[in-house]
Structure 1
Amino acid sequence: MIVAVNRFGSILTVDFGSVHTRAALFDVVDGVYQLVARGETRTTTGYPLNDVSVGLDRVLREISDTTGRQFLDADGRVITPELPNRNGVDWFITTASAGRPMRAVLVGLSPNLSLASALNAISSVYVQVEAAIHLGDNRNEEERLNAILLARPDVILISGGVDGGARRTVLELAQIVKLAVDLTDVQHQPAVIFAGNNDLHGDITALFGDYEYLYLSPNIRPDMHGEMLEAARLQLSRAFDRFKETFSLDFALVGESSTSGIMPTSQGYVPLVEYLSKVKNGDVLSVDIGSSATIVTAALSGQTLSTIFSDMGIGHSADRLLERVGLEAVQRWLPFYCQPDELTNYAASKTLRPATIPFNLRELYIEHALLRAAISRAVHNAYPRWNGVLPQLAQLIVSGAALSGTGHAGYTALLAIDALQPQGVTELVSDPYALVPLLGALAPHHPQAVVQILESGAIETLGPVVSVSGLPKQDKTAFKVKVEMEGYSLEETVLGGHMKRIELPAGEWAMLEVKASRGLHIGGKRKVRLKVRTGTAGIILDGRGRPLPLSVSLAQLAQLLPMWVHEMTGDPLQEIPESWLQAPQEKATQSRRLRRGKRRRGKDAALDERLSTMEAAAIEEDELPALDEEDLDDEFMALLEEDDGDDLGDLRDVLS
């Protein structure tokens, strides 16, 4: 139930992605906060414009055309607060993942304790670790100093020492960091975050004096057995904001206008996923695959963790993605023979032109194979203890233009299910407008508005997914489903190896009864009865089993993948051409034989024509002459000799 709220003020949210800049305007409508308008355009942080404010101006003009409201003043700044004539907004919330990641140096006592915790802390920020300094790195002080200077860091994170523990060694490492900062040009001095022994805060402050970019955080490793990462991540967010405004000058104007500063997109997921986990009373997983990076955020058993993989994007870092996941992980999702060069060339092309879309059916399969492999590997790396098998989840959130922008709810659901293979009954949600991180950035300022926006349907619910686990027999009953709604009842049988989508009006509640066949189960149970809410894809039934049956022949896979697309979208079945299933060597051999056959048929026709002419002439003279070589001209003899050569070639092909 949505409860009316006093107007907190109009809210403008903007996310600057590597490829797209997305904006959304929220305001009170009929007593509750709702999405009023949205816009999307290309991000302009790179060449040739190198100014993110150009993209901001374009996307806000889209919303202005819809609402009649002006958002920018004469200097290009967002107008805050809202004016009496309704121009401007009261809150301007921004997140960003565009541009290069921060270069980081980690400093700690032990790689297995303090540095491991530091890595966990930076996993939620767009960071590329350039160097790690610790007591066991076999460097002297001069070498450690040079390592820091050569890394040209944007941020240095110092950790080490449990509370009340090591002091002298931590301070010695901090002194090296201070010297490196002093030797760095003022315009490029890094932010320094100290997240070690809490007892050293006074000593660290005295050491760095009035250094403007020193941030103190509670110890990320207060004892040997636990971590406290949130405070350090908050300081990393401040460092990221400063990095965007200082070293990415095109963000400076945006940062000045923003109410909350520029928050990393990844950190916006944490509060929203944590909130949704409490609402759903279960575990929630969010996966965002972007052009440059993939973000995995999960709220599991009351703990929320976000991890960024900055080399696993489907656009700018497509070449590094392919190198990271490997050719086999991509090829297992291709229903045709694909040489390694074709994959590497496609990935290189996407890296150079990340905004391009697949040109034909073959490229579409390659793009989605990369996407499936990226999501699967990212989740596995974030949670290796799952061993590639997801636990029972209450909700699964997917986002990223390549995933949520397919144009069909059923296709988006298919890609997400293929990549993640959920078990039991899971609610599947798509975030095509990148609202989840923006609402997460808004949550600390106005949580009630966030709740109302979520309940208003601003984020697309694809629907519940019922997945059978085990190995169902192909085309045999995997499970049966009964759906009951007010004035409506339906029973369906789902066959093994197939998918089915029950199309129902979105947002309706239904009672679902599921009974799995012998040897199979739904989230560990043979029978399940629960209340579900339909989505834009209706109710999704997956009878393919877990794990998915991909270890089949190429010919079988060429039948399965198009069939699953057909079953989930209702589009005409697009069969894979027979020629795509042949290896290049086989194609070359068949092509040579085809060309040889054409030449042979051409020569036979010429020979027949010559004989027919001679026969006709002989009939006119009432006699048929013998075919001696003297009767054959040079051209005719050449045809015979060339034809004999082809016969020998055919014989070699048969015997080889």
Structure 2
Amino acid sequence: MQYDEKRLTRIVATDCGSTTTKAILIEWIDGEYRQTVRGEAPTTVEAPLNDVTKGVINATQELEELARLKYHNPNIKFMENGEFVIPRRGDVGVDAYVSTSSAGGGLQMMVTGVVASMTGESAERAALGAGAIVMDLIASNDKRMNHEKIERIRELRPDMILMAGGEDGGTIKHVVEMAELVSAADPKPRLGSGFKLPVIYAGNKDARDYVRECLQDKVDLIITDNIRPKLEIENLKPARDKIHELFLDHVMKQAPGYDKLMKWCQGPDHEPVPIMPTPAAVGNIMQAIAREENIEVVGVDIGGATTDIFSVFTEEFIFNRTVSANLGMSYSISNVLASSGLENIMRWVPLDIDEGYLRNMIKNKMIRPTTIPYLLEELVLEQAIAIEALRLAFEQHKEFASTLKGTQRQRDISEAFSQSTSGETLVNLMTLDLLVGSGGVLSHAPRRSQTMMLLINAFLPEGITRLAVDSIFMMPHLGVLSEISTKAATEVFHKDCMIYLGTCVAPVGKGKVGKPALTAKLELPDGSTWEEQIPFGEVRLIPCGVGEVAKANLKTHGGLILDENKNKELEVELKGGVVGIVLDTRGRQPFVLPTEKAERIATLKKWIQAFNAYPEQILK
């Protein structure tokens, strides 16, 4: 149900995170929706309070107090007798209340498939897109013994299991074998010990009766449409809808206080609005923006324990999400070092720092995960680690966000059961329109130019790409809001959520350092002209503010190209931002840093100076 501004003039949205409950107020002001006030409080899902609504009430009370101060109106009251006041009465109450949640560890799932790289990955895509953390993928060809798979299901205790496998009309043998493994494990849910574990079956329809016979007495079995009805068709929506439905009925209802919170969440007509998992809500707003503006989008949320990457690509707006559960900036920071290697982190450090200093810093961060950098050297090291965490997470995402595997050519059974089968990635940086960053290391960097530098160094955008950062991690709130008002969600996204950093122009191809790479002539909004022939391996930053546009003539040299059509010369309009327009001639495919230490540090300092990223003392 979508509502217009006549029905929605004041909305409260909350995100119940694992540690903090964040509340925002969105209002219809002077013909547009704006986010006006923000409050937060500790999440109260655990002992001693054991009631998530206590944290919601505390965060909402802060909203009330700040709104009263803002409007000099003591009558504003969003809650009455412990409930949201809906519909609005004069200056009292709100028209709608919506919420997301990742409290209690969010939605944790296991998925099963017959072939890991085919139906297994389709099941994983369905679960990730619904906002789940996928704890494990169990498949017939994953090289584990049956007893190991059974033990794994028992020890993980997921919130639910999604079973896929087989195309409709195909063999049922392996699908039934997976059902027998789940039955033998007799899994118990993580929350609500008196309830049966929800299991969604979305595989070969011919196997439904066998699966039902095998599982219905031990689990709460839900049957829905096949995720891969044919090898060349992927049908994720029915499974995702069931996951959301079960998330509310079997997971949220078992968490302390969520039954009350679900009753609070409603629109102007007292229509219930479901609570969404936080990552699913972020995916919602990404898809809404992509469709609204007809653009391709990549978003990242880098946290303390995980890094989530979201993408919407192609004319069909295909949405993908991946969770790099071992890449984060506090709890998982040692995993970044292990996955990336010390050398890859140190290559981004423009200082002659002892490697032991970096190791000690990482260990201290693990012991005290909530600390933030105190010294400039610590900030530089943390941001170098962030670049590698983002790079690795994006590499994983590119592999996962791919065309359907198994559909390219005829295969015999031995090939089908090998792990080498691979589709082509959907991620095309040359056609990417918008790159959005969020998470503490990006949203709260001391300088916005640092955020722009981190995103460019980590993702290496190609061609012409606009960059932005989420100001206060408002995307979950807007994602669930888009369920009742896409207009309100997208307007607030552009005006209050996104801080547009600027545009990056990055020609693709190889070149020689010092040789001409790009001739750029820009007509700036103030009437001045900027013109330069930029050598290969350089960075230039041209100031151009938010809402401003520069008319540019771009011409590459050598084998460098500017877009997917392999154009070497373009007349384009480049949008500005709080940082400006970056012309990056450091090359792509491959991007190479000098290997010799002194040369690399000198090169990094030159780029940092161009970005105006760090104070001058670091360049000495």
Under TM normalisation by the shorter chain, which class is it?
Answer: 0.7 to 0.9
Cα shift at 1:403: 0.9
Task: Tell me if the contact between 1:400 and 1:432 (Cα under 8 Å) persists in the aligned partners.
Answer: no
| Separation in structure 2 between the aligned mates of residue 388 and residue 552 of structure 1, nearest angstrom | 29
State the match for 2:60 in structure 1.
60
State the match for 2:403 in structure 1.
none
Cα shift at 1:285: 1.4
Q: Quick check: 1:511 aligned with 2:551?
A: yes
Please report the RMSD computed on the Cα atoms of aligned residues, expressed in angstroms. Answer: 3.6
| Separation in structure 1 between the aligned mates of residue 249 and residue 355 of structure 2, nearest angstrom | 42
Cα shift at 1:202: 6.5
Cα shift at 1:72: 3.9
Task: Tell me if the contact between 2:17 and 2:43 (Cα under 8 Å) persists in the aligned partners.
Answer: yes
Q: Quick check: 1:431 aligned with 2:431?
A: no
Task: Tell me if the contact between 1:71 and 1:89 (Cα under 8 Å) persists in the aligned partners.
Answer: yes
Which letter does structure 1 place at the counterpart of 2:264? S
SS at match of 1:333: coil
- Indicate how the Cα distance of structure 1 residues 180 and 71 shifts in structure 2: closer, same or farther if over 3 A, else same: farther
Cα shift at 1:350: 2.6
| Separation in structure 2 between the aligned mates of residue 376 and residue 264 of structure 1, nearest angstrom | 25
State how many pairs are aligned: 572
State the match for 1:592 in structure 2.
none
Q: Quick check: 1:367 aligned with 2:372?
A: no
Cα shift at 1:418: 0.9
| Separation in structure 2 between the aligned mates of residue 311 and residue 476 of structure 1, nearest angstrom | 41
Task: Tell me if the contact between 1:336 and 1:554 (Cα under 8 Å) persists in the aligned partners.
Answer: no
Q: Quick check: 1:442 aligned with 2:447?
A: no
Task: Tell me if the contact between 2:552 and 2:573 (Cα under 8 Å) persists in the aligned partners.
Answer: yes
Q: Name which of 193, 196, 206 aligns with 2:200.
A: 193
- Indicate how the Cα distance of structure 1 residues 522 and 442 shifts in structure 2: closer, same or farther if over 3 A, else same: same
Q: Name which of 600, 608, 611 aligns with 1:557.
A: 600
Task: Map Cα deviations across residues 214-256 of structure 1 (whole Å, 9 max, x no partner).
Answer: 4332111112233222322232233444565255436565444
State the match for 2:280 in structure 1.
267
Which letter does structure 2 place at the counterpart of 1:422? P
Which letter does structure 1 place at the counterpart of 2:611? M
| Separation in structure 2 between the aligned mates of residue 87 and residue 550 of structure 1, nearest angstrom | 59
State the match for 1:574 in structure 2.
617
- Indicate how the Cα distance of structure 1 residues 558 and 244 shifts in structure 2: closer, same or farther if over 3 A, else same: farther
Higher relative contact order (CA 8 A, sep 6+): 2
Cα shift at 1:383: 0.9
Q: Name which of 438, 442, 450 aligns with 1:403.
A: 442
| Separation in structure 2 between the aligned mates of residue 534 and residue 30 of structure 1, nearest angstrom | 26
SS at match of 1:575: helix
SS at match of 1:249: coil
Matching of residues 482-501 of structure 1 within 5 Å: 482-484=521-523, 488-493=527-532, 494-501=534-541
| Separation in structure 2 between the aligned mates of residue 388 and residue 337 of structure 1, nearest angstrom | 36
| Separation in structure 2 between the aligned mates of residue 104 and residue 354 of structure 1, nearest angstrom | 26
**Which structure 1 segments of 5+ residues have no match?**
578-656
Give the helix-richer structure, 1 or 2.
1
- Indicate how the Cα distance of structure 1 residues 397 and 112 shifts in structure 2: closer, same or farther if over 3 A, else same: closer
Cα shift at 1:71: 3.4
| Separation in structure 2 between the aligned mates of residue 98 and residue 349 of structure 1, nearest angstrom | 26
Task: Tell me if the contact between 1:16 and 1:98 (Cα under 8 Å) persists in the aligned partners.
Answer: yes
Cα shift at 1:297: 1.4
State the match for 2:289 in structure 1.
276
Task: Map Cα deviations across residues 87-106 of structure 1 (whole Å, 9 max, x no partner).
Answer: 44333222234543555443
| Separation in structure 2 between the aligned mates of residue 404 and residue 87 of structure 1, nearest angstrom | 33
Cα shift at 1:544: 2.9
Which letter does structure 2 place at the counterpart of 1:313? G
- TM-score w.r.t. the length of structure 1 is 0.77
Which letter does structure 2 place at the counterpart of 1:153? P
- Indicate how the Cα distance of structure 1 residues 88 and 244 shifts in structure 2: closer, same or farther if over 3 A, else same: farther
| Separation in structure 1 between the aligned mates of residue 60 and residue 289 of structure 2, nearest angstrom | 29
Task: Tell me if the contact between 1:19 and 1:355 (Cα under 8 Å) persists in the aligned partners.
Answer: no
Task: Tell me if the contact between 1:463 and 1:538 (Cα under 8 Å) persists in the aligned partners.
Answer: yes
Task: Tell me if the contact between 1:398 and 1:404 (Cα under 8 Å) persists in the aligned partners.
Answer: yes
Matching of residues 184-583 of structure 1 within 5 Å: 186-187=193-194, 189-199=196-206, 213-242=220-249, 244-246=251-253, 248-249=255-256, 253-259=260-266, 260-301=273-314, 302=316, 303-338=318-353, 341-384=356-399, 390-470=429-509, 478-484=517-523, 488-493=527-532, 494-523=534-563, 524-546=566-588, 547-569=590-612, 572-575=615-618
| Separation in structure 2 between the aligned mates of residue 54 and residue 497 of structure 1, nearest angstrom | 55
Task: Tell me if the contact between 2:430 and 2:464 (Cα under 8 Å) persists in the aligned partners.
Answer: no
Task: Map Cα deviations across residues 354-392 of structure 1 (whole Å, 9 max, x no partner).
Answer: 321111122111111111001111111111366998433
| Separation in structure 2 between the aligned mates of residue 205 and residue 392 of structure 1, nearest angstrom | 45
Task: Map Cα deviations across residues 111-155 of structure 1 (whole Å, 9 max, x no partner).
Answer: 444333223322333324357264886756x87655533443321
Q: Name which of 160, 169, 176 aligns with 1:155.
A: 160
Which letter does structure 2 place at the counterpart of 1:553? E
Cα shift at 1:419: 0.7
Q: Quick check: 1:116 aligned with 2:116?
A: no
| Separation in structure 2 between the aligned mates of residue 566 and residue 52 of structure 1, nearest angstrom | 47
Between 1:224-233 and 1:182-191, the stretch displaced more is 182-191
Which letter does structure 1 place at the counterpart of 2:332? S
Task: Tell me if the contact between 2:329 and 2:386 (Cα under 8 Å) persists in the aligned partners.
Answer: yes
| Separation in structure 1 between the aligned mates of residue 521 and residue 43 of structure 2, nearest angstrom | 47
- TM-score w.r.t. the length of structure 2 is 0.81
SS at match of 2:290: helix
Between 1:25-34 and 1:259-268, the stretch displaced more is 259-268
